[in-house]
Structure 1
């Protein structure tokens, strides 16, 4: 089922043809579709060490190329800065027969995503997650600030989107209660300077092995933002005990912690209704996060 009304279709045959035409050195490598709950890219393994990513929504080719180059630069900046494995950029593909946009190739990072191996009860995982967040922040912004798009800046700038979410969640969720919570969370003041964040620490972007953090995916959004942004992981990934461990490990003050809760709430509200039919695993993740947010 399509997740977006204008979603592009990408088949293994199309990927095979694009790779053979543009990267003949990989003609002997097997191409396999990757089953994923991701909502932005169709992903294909190329051999054992590479992954090709194809944006699912149509757009301007030049704009998509700039976006993919920015993602690659973010991946290069993060590479080697944490002990946890991250994908690294390898190549940029161009539009071709069967696919109208640029696409990217990066290293394949092995592991099991947290949607399949739930680390929520693991305090050791929570400590790993705290280490990762400290590693990301330690990279330093080099004077850069939040770019002004998506999550990570002013909570109130998401009011229009949240209103859309509330309207579309009627019949699915307790909308009056959720509106009251947003009225409180959106007004939390921003005091701390930007730090480097992954920007999307949800279960599908986290790799787990034996209850421990093994790596992270989708690092193209790595950049400066609200220090509370990566704290969404506390509600997306952790049950109460490990969540307290994460907070203690990071030494979060009350305001920063509540702003992290606010960003998790903002993200989860969009997941429940938007993917209710087209990506039920993502919708269920949103509901679970909302339950954790509401529990405090």
Structure 2
């Protein structure tokens, strides 16, 4: 994880107000309020009723500002639902060291919190978005790599990390089955032309309004390469009929689904390993059992 800015506490309402006043005085005086549910990579604040201010929380996330500014306007016309619209670019200033941006506010709640009666319909909408994204022109687009945290590359990049997790979790998951899933992911590869991927299709980056998918946000890890990383939504949000509908509508081959399952497994194991380490550290410090 990249080093944070003062543990993220260095970004606050006062800083945002000062940055706006200094660089965009025509918006000076608009109320600045934190969003109710913030992300980790960036801090987001409402600016008046129609805008947001988005500030990277660490150097590794700051690379996304220029990438989104360049590519979102090119991708948006080809996509079936809303994506962020960047209204202005902010520069490092007042002790804040990274570029930042002002964006149009998009109405909706994140999919992990919004009521959705028709999960199958949402799954099909997601698949339609992905198929449209895969058709977008890739000329001069950023190839998967460090800027995408290697999403869009073969999952073998994370092989050493994943095998560490397998070893660390022998006491709490079926590591024999997990190892088989991982080996199946490593045994396949994307052998077609690279396509666009979003890179972070988690429920918190899907906006829902009135039960329907209305927007997808946070393209900071987007690029072109293997789209398998975007299919993890099948396990992180969907299940049963909605998962099957998503799978049919996305229409990818078995190898891509094997890699997608590997990506989902790797993230789940990493999360479990981190939590397990935190629990053991707490036990050691407190002497509790």
**TM-score of Structure 1 vs Structure 2, range by shorter chain:** 0.7 to 0.9
* TM alignment of 1:16-95, pairs within 5 A: 16-58=17-59, 64=62, 67-95=64-92
CA 1:70–1:145: 2 relative to 1, 3 Å: closer
Instruction: Work out the CA distance in 2 between the residues paired with 1:27 and 1:271.
Output: 41
Instruction: Work out the CA distance in 2 between the residues paired with 1:188 and 1:221.
Output: 23
Aligned pairs, how many?
272
**Which structure 2 residue ranges, 5 or more long, are not aligned?**
279-289
Shift, 1:5, TM fit: 9.7
Question: What are the Cα deviations for residues 88-125 of structure 1, in whole angstroms up to 9, with x where unaligned?
Answer: 11222122225232222222211010110264961111
CA 1:166–1:39: 2 relative to 1, 3 Å: farther
Aligned residue for 1:72, secondary structure, equals helix
Shift, 1:222, TM fit: 3.1
1:124 aligns with 2:126: no
Q: 2:242: which partner in 1?
A: 242
Question: Which residue, out of 111, 114, 136, partners 2:111?
Answer: 114
Worse overlay, 236-245 or 249-258: 249-258
Worse overlay, 243-252 or 170-179: 170-179
Q: 2:94: which partner in 1?
A: 97
Question: What are the Cα deviations for residues 118-137 of structure 1, in whole angstroms up to 9, with x where unaligned?
Answer: 64961111111111111111
Instruction: Work out the CA distance in 1 between the residues paired with 2:201 and 2:128.
Output: 14
- Asked whether the equivalents of residues 234 and 246 of structure 2 are also in contact (C-alpha less than 8 Å), the reply is yes
Instruction: Work out the CA distance in 2 between the residues paired with 1:265 and 1:159.
Output: 12
Instruction: Work out the CA distance in 2 between the residues paired with 1:80 and 1:196.
Output: 14
RMSD value over aligned CA atoms? 2.9
Question: What are the Cα deviations for residues 26-85 of structure 1, in whole angstroms up to 9, with x where unaligned?
Answer: 1121101113352100111111221111111256xxx94x54212211222222322311
Shift, 1:184, TM fit: 3.0
- Asked whether the equivalents of residues 71 and 221 of structure 1 are also in contact (C-alpha less than 8 Å), the reply is no
**Which structure 1 residue ranges, 5 or more long, are not aligned?**
279-296
CA 1:121–1:168: 2 relative to 1, 3 Å: farther
